[in-house]
Amino acid sequence: VSAAPVTRRHFLKVSVAAGGGMIIGFYLPEALPASVQPKPWTALPQGAEINAWLAIDAEGNVTIRVPHTEMGQGALTSVCMMIAEELNVDWSRVRAVFADPNRHLRNGNEYKTMFTAGSAVVRRQHPHIMQAGASARERLKEAAAQAWGVQRGAVEATLGVLKSGARSGTYAEFATAAAAVALPEEPAIKTPDQWWLLGRPVKRLDVDVKSNGSAAYAIDVKLPGMAYAAVKACPVPWGRLGRFDAAAIRARPGVIGAHELKAVTGKTGLSDLQDAVAVVADSWWRAKTALDALPVEWDYGSGASVSSESQLAEARERLAAPGEVVSDEGGAPAWAGEPKELTADYYRPYETHARMEPINATVSVTPERIDVWSPTQDQSVALQLAADQAGVGIEKVFVHTVFLGGGFGGNGAGGTAVTRQATELSKRLQRPVKVIWSREEDIAQDKQRPPNLTRFAASLAPETRLPSAWTTRSIWFTQDAVARVGPATADYAISNMPYKVPHRRHERINGKAHIPVATHRAPGTNQHGFMTECFVDEVALAGGWDPLEWRLKMTEGLDDWQLVLRTLKEKSGFRTGLPRGRGMGVAIVEDHGSICAACATVSVTRGGELAVEKVVIAIDCGHVINPLNAAEQCEGSVCWELSHAWMGGLELREGRFVNTNFDSYPLLRFNQMPEVEVHFALSGGGKWGGIGEPAGPPVPPAVANAIFFATGNRIRSTPFKKHDLSWS
Amino acid sequence: MPTFTLTVNGKTRVLDVEPEMPLLWALREQLGLTGTKYGCGIAQCGACTVHVDGRPVRSCAVAVSVVAGKRVTTIEGLANGNEPHPVQAAWVEVGVPQCGYCQSGQVMSAAALLADHPDPTDAEIDAAMAGNLCRCGTYLRIRRGIRTAAALIAKKGAPS
C-alpha cells in the first residue's frame, strides 16, 4: 500500500427521496488505498471545523462526525439529530461521517467514548453530544456578535442563519471565525420543551445505501495485494492445537500457506488469541475449502468432558447449598424460614449472537502504519488490540469505521480474537489480510450468552393471597467464575424486580465453564425477565389473582410502572378466559433504565403448533428523540428475544456446541413474526432510558404466560419448541 | 482451469475459476460485486440471494459451472440506471433496513416475488420471504415495503 495522494472524491453522495434532498457522505473503504496518509479523515474536504464534532463548508453543509458505530440501532442518525437540534441547522444540510478513532485516542478521548453499547448513545451520551452542538452554535453567534459589534445575546441562530437587527449572515460565513472563539462559559443544553427537531419522526440517514447494496461493511473491504484467511480455533474452547499437515493442501488452487496461531499463556481475555490454524489463500472460498481439507489434530483439554446435561446436573447440585447473598430485604430476624408454598426451577441455555455479518477483520500492517477494518462496537478497543498484537504505539494505528452487520452486545471484532488474528497474519505475511470466520466458526467461537438456572420459592399471605416471602437462588456459568460481563448479567430482573414483598432474598452462585461469555442484547434481563415474570404468573394465579391486576397491585406507588401497566391494559385489551387454544399473557421488565411491558396473544393447535399472533408493547424510556427509530428498535427487540425463547438454545456435547449454522440454530423467520404494536408511555422529566434493548425481555414471558392460558402447559425453560404444547 | 461465461448485470463476464466455486464468491471476490452478502454458506439465510434468469437463487449454494451461459442479476444491477427498482424505492420510503446486512437478499427476494405476483397475498409474501433471515427483526417493515412496492408497480407499471 503506497501513500498516494488523494485523487478522487471519497464521498458517496446520496439523495434521500423522502425528506427533501438530504445529502449524506460516507467514507468509501474501497477508496482508501488512494488515501492512505496520516489523517485520512480530517484530510477530507469538510469545511471549517468548529469543534471535533462538526465542520461547516462554504455552502453551509454541516459535516457531523459520529463517534459511535452504526450496527442497525440508528446511532448515526441519532447523533446527527442531537447536534442539529442544538446547532439549529436545517436537517437537509447535515452530512454524517464516522469520527476518527486515532484522533479520539491521540487527543485524550476527544469524543469522551466511542463505545457503542448499553442502549447508551441517547440515554447516557446525549448531554455531551448536545453540548457539542450547543457550543458550536454559541461560538457562531459570538463570532457574528464580534463582527457586528453587538452582544452575543442580541444574535439569533436559526436554521443556518445568524441575525441581529438588520444584519444577517450564514453559518458558513462565520464558521472560520467561530472555530477561534473561546467561550467564557459553555452553554446549557436545551430542555425537551425547546426541541424543534428531536421528538419528531426522522428517517434514518443510511436507508438508501442499505437498499442498493452500496453500504460498506468490514467484510466488503478489498485492498491491493490482500490475502484471505479462513481460521479454525479448537472446537472446544481453550483446547490446544496439535499437528496439522500443511503439505496436504499446498497444491490446492490459490493456497498461500497454513499458519499456526498460538494462545499466549496466561492470557484468557475475550479478545486474546486462542490456539487456531489459519489457511491463507487468494480467495476466501479457496482458503475455507482448503481449511476444511486440512488434517488437524487437537488436544481438546478438560472442557471436552462438559455437556449441557452435565452442566445442568452440576447446577442442580450446587443450588442445594446457599450462594452469595446479593440482596436481602425484610431483615433476617423477621425471616420466616424458607418459603415452601410455591417452588419452581427456571432454566435458560447458552445463546449466540449470530450477527448476520460473520465475524471478520481486515488488517494491513506495514512498517509505517497499521490500518484496521473490523465490525466492532468500540473502534478504540480494536485500535489498541491491533497495536498490542503488532507491538507498535497506538499513534501508528488507524481504524476505519464501516457499517456493522449487527452488534447485539457481542462487540464482534472487539470482543473476539479476530482483530489479533488478522494483525498477526498481516504482520507475518507482510501484506493486507482479511480474516473471515465461517458461520460455523462464528457460532463455535463467539462469546456466548451464559446459561442460568434459578430456583424460585414463594409463600403467600393467608388474607391477601399476595406473596409474603420470595427467594431466588441463581447459578450461571462463566469462563473464569468471575462475573466478567458484570453482575448485572447474573442478577438484573431478579434482584431489582419492583414488586414489594415483605421478605425477599436473592443469592447468586458463580459457576465455572470453559465457554467464554459476553453481553447479549439486554444482558441479564433477557433471561431473568423470562424467569421472574413467568414465576409471577404462577404466584398470581396460585393466589387467585388476575396476572395484570396482580402486577398493578404489587407496583402501587411506583408511578412509572403504573403508567406502563395501565397503558398496556388499555391498549392490549388483555384478558384471560379466551377459548382453549388461544391465550393472552403479560409481562413487565425494566432494562437499561426503561420499563417495558408486553402483552402477547398466541394460538396453539391441539397438536402443539405455536403461533404468536400479536405483541403489544408499552414502554417508558422517559424521552423519545426519534419515534420512528424507537418503534423500529422495539419491533426488532421483540423478534430478537422471541427467536431465542421460541427456537434458539445452544446445546453442549463433549465440550462443543452441537449447533453449527442456521439449520441447527434456527432463528425467527418472516412468516413467524407476530404483528407488533408499540405504545410510548413516557414519564419524561429527568428519566432517560434506553430503546435498543428493553423491548426484548418482556416478550418471552408474555408468550409463555399466554401459552399457559391457551393450553395449561407451564413452560419453565427455553426454547419453547422443545416443549410438548399439545392439549386436549 | 476451465472458463465460464455468464451475463452479470447485463455485461458478459468470463470467470477462470474452479467449476465448483459458489457464485457468491465469484461475484464478491472475482467480480468485486460485494452487495451480495455471505451469511451462512448453506442456503439457510438468504443474504446471498441473486436472480438467475429472473429466478431468486441462493448464490452461496450454486456453483459457477451451473450458471454458465445464464443471466445473473445482483443488487447492483437491479435499478434501471439511476431509477431505483420499485422495491428499493419502497424500502427507502418505508425505512426498512436497520443494520442492512441482509437487505440485499431481502430486496432481491421481494423483487422476484413481485415479478411473478404484482399484487401478492400474505401467504405468497410469507412463502417468498421465509428463506431470508433478518437478525434485526425488520420483517414487519419488509412486508410493508412489499405492499408499498406493489402499489408503486400498479401505478407505474412493472420495471423493465
Query: For A452-587, where are the alpha helices, taking DSSP H only?
Result: 487-491, 525-542, 547-554, 559-572
The enclosing H or E element of A472 equals strand A467-478
> How many residue pairs bridge chain A and chain B with CB atoms within 8 Å of each other?
181
Give the CA dihedral A271, A276, A280, A285, nearest 10 degrees: -90
Q: Which residue has the cell 425453560?
A: A717
Q: Which residue has the cell 467561550?
A: A183
> What's the grid cell of residue B2?
476451465
Mean of the pLDDT values across residues A205-230? 91
> What's the grid cell of residue A55?
465542520
Contacts with A26 from chain B: Cβ below 8 Å = none
Half-sphere exposure of A165 (CA within 13 A, CB side): 8
By the 10 Å C-beta count (0-12 exposed, 13-18 middle, 19+ buried), A309 is classed as exposed
Helix (H, G, I), strand (E, B) or coil at B79: coil
Looking at the complex, does the CB of residue A438 fall below 8 Å from at least one CB of chain B? yes
Contacts with B88 from chain A: Cβ below 8 Å = 211-212
Looking at the complex, does the CB of residue A73 fall below 8 Å from at least one CB of chain B? yes
Q: Which of the residues A228, A356, A640 would you substitute to probe the B interface, choosing the one with the greatest number of B C-beta atoms within 10 Å?
A: A356
Closest approach of chain A CAs to the CA of B69, in angstroms?
A: 22
Provide the whole-model pTM: 0.93
Beta bridge partners of residue A233, listed in sequence order? A276
Nearest by CB to B92, which of A16, A72, A228?
A: A16
Closest approach of chain B CAs to the CA of A220, in angstroms?
A: 6
Q: Least CA distance to A403: which residue of chain B?
A: B99
Structural contact between residues A32 and A371, judged by C-beta atoms closer than 8 angstroms: yes
Mean of the pLDDT values across residues A92-120? 85
Residue A338 pLDDT > 80: no
Categorize the per-residue pLDDT at A339 as very low, low, confident or very high, splitting at 50, 70 and 90: low
Q: Least CA distance to B91: which residue of chain A?
A: A211
Q: Cis omega before residue A295 (within 30°)?
A: no
Residues B27 and A631: their CA atoms lie apart, in Å, by: 36
Residues B12 and B71: their CA atoms lie apart, in Å, by: 9
Which residues lie closer than 8 Å to B135 by C-beta, 6 or more apart?
Answer: A354, A355, A356, A406, A408, A640, A667, B99, B102
pLDDT at residue A26, as a whole number? 33
Q: Which residue has the cell 431481502?
A: B106
What ipTM was predicted for this assembly? 0.97
Structural contact between residues A53 and A83, judged by C-beta atoms closer than 8 angstroms: yes
Give the least confident one: A17-21, A336-340, A381-385, B50-54. Answer: A17-21
Beta strands in A334-403 (DSSP E): 342-348, 360-365, 370-373, 397-399
Which residues lie closer than 8 Å to A317 by C-beta, 6 or more apart?
Answer: none
Residue A43 pLDDT > 50: no
Residues B144 and A207: their CA atoms lie apart, in Å, by: 15
Residues A343 and A455: their CA atoms lie apart, in Å, by: 7
Least Cα distance to A393 among A32, A40, A102 occurs for A102
Looking at the complex, does the CB of residue A213 fall below 8 Å from at least one CB of chain B? yes
Residue B65 pLDDT > 50: yes
Which residues lie closer than 8 Å to B112 by C-beta, 6 or more apart?
Answer: B51, B54, B55, B56, B128
Mean of the pLDDT values across residues A231-259? 96
pLDDT at residue A115, as a whole number? 83
Residues A476 and A471: their CA atoms lie apart, in Å, by: 17
pLDDT at residue A413, as a whole number? 64
Give the least confident one: A432-436, A514-518, A718-722, B43-47. Answer: A514-518
